[in-house]
Structure 1
Amino acid sequence: MTEFSFQTEINASPEKIWEMYANVTNRFKWEFDLEQISLEGEFVTGSSGQIKLGGQPEMTFTLTSVIPHKEFWDRTVVPDAGIAVCFGHTLTKNGDKTLIKHIAKMEKMDGELSEEDIMLLSQIFQDTPQAILAIKKVVEAE
């Protein structure tokens, strides 16, 4: 299994940060290449939605695990690529601060991950530190 992760501390509670996720329209504040996002139903395990990032086709994502104020995972199947990208988002209370961490993993439908697959995952992940720092900036300014 190959994964990438980035974490930092934010001067805010997990409950305050959680709103950046649970209200999917807040994603425009931290996902800079986001063109469109929608969620069918509540922000709970099993819900699905649509996401469109710049230069990419519209894709369906599924919330595979949601533990309010602690973590959630989503899974997006990349059309015609035979892969799925899974992102984890965790919040760990640390005194008056919260450790925020995003994790990216790739699943291949057939066979082993290749070097090209790993490089694709690194490209997908490359703006994650910028996204987390944007969350930090927005949440700490409120």
Structure 2
Amino acid sequence: MLEFTFQTKIKAPARDIWNMYADFDKRRQWETDLEYIKLDGLFSTGTFGVMKLADQPEMVYTLTSVIPYSQYWDRTEIPHTGIAICFGHEFTPDDNGTLLKVSAKLEKSTGEITDQDILFLSNIFSDTPQSILAIKKLVEI
């Protein structure tokens, strides 16, 4: 497994940050390459969805763990590669705000992690700090 992580403190309650993720209309305010995102049910563990990012094919994802206002993880399998990308979002109360930690993991069903895998995940994760700082700007009090 391979993992990248970014975290920062946001001067806002976890509920306000959570809503930037769970309310898909608000997601477009900070996820600039998002064309659409849909869920086949509630924002809860086990729910499947589809998303479309600019210049990318539609992708199916699963919410693998959802604990409201605390954390959620999603998993997207990359077709025909034996690779899955998992994104985690953890919300930890902190003095006058919330520590937001976002992680991206690459899981590979066979073989060793290669330099190409590292660059692939790095590219996927590259806009994460910018997105989190956009959320911060939108919700800070």
Judge same fold: TM > 0.5, yes or no. yes
Letter in 2 for 1:47: T
What residue is the counterpart of 2:109 in the other structure? 109
Identical-residue share of aligned pairs (%):
56
Question: Aligned equivalents of 1:39 and 1:98: distance in 2?
Answer: 26
Q: How many residues align?
A: 141
SS in 1 for 2:139: helix
1:67-115 deviation digits (Å, cap 9, x = unpaired): 1001000001112332110000011000221001110000112222211
What residue is the counterpart of 2:4 in the other structure? 4
1:10-29, aligned counterparts within 5 Å? 10-29=10-29
Post-superposition offset of 1:47: 0.5
Check conservation: 1:45, 1:63, Cα contact below 8 A. Answer: yes
Per the normalisation by structure 1, the TM-score is 0.95
Letter in 2 for 1:49: G
1:45 matches 2:40 = no
Per the normalisation by structure 2, the TM-score is 0.95
Check conservation: 1:24, 1:39, Cα contact below 8 A. Answer: no
RMSD of aligned Cα (Å): 1.1
Post-superposition offset of 1:12: 0.4
Check conservation: 1:25, 1:37, Cα contact below 8 A. Answer: no
What residue is the counterpart of 2:77 in the other structure? 77
Which 4+ stretches in 1 moved above 4 angstroms?
Answer: none
Question: Aligned equivalents of 2:75 and 2:31: distance in 1?
Answer: 16
